[in-house]
Amino acid sequence: MKEIVVKVNDMVGLHARTASLFSKKAAEFSSTIKVYGNNRVANGKSMLNLIALGIRQGMDIKITAEGDDDASSIEALYKLVINNFK
């Protein structure tokens, strides 16, 4: 299992557009991906679960991945978040 903590710097946080981009990227991997933030946990492959976390700009999230491609999935998702989902 791999994990990383990253700050969400997008102006509106983890909302519909960014959650959609995150979940689509997460779905490219076979690993189980979870996102922790705001005292909640979400399935990283579920846009609605991610939105329900209520993550705003400046908040930290922890991303975990467990599976055959955990290292590559963590790296890709980390890059997505630090590049403001671009």
Residues serving a catalytic function are 15
Strand ranges in 1-86 using DSSP code E only, listed in sequence order: 2-7, 32-37, 40-43, 60-66
What type of residue sits at position 10?
D
Chain centroid, CA 33 distance in Å: 8
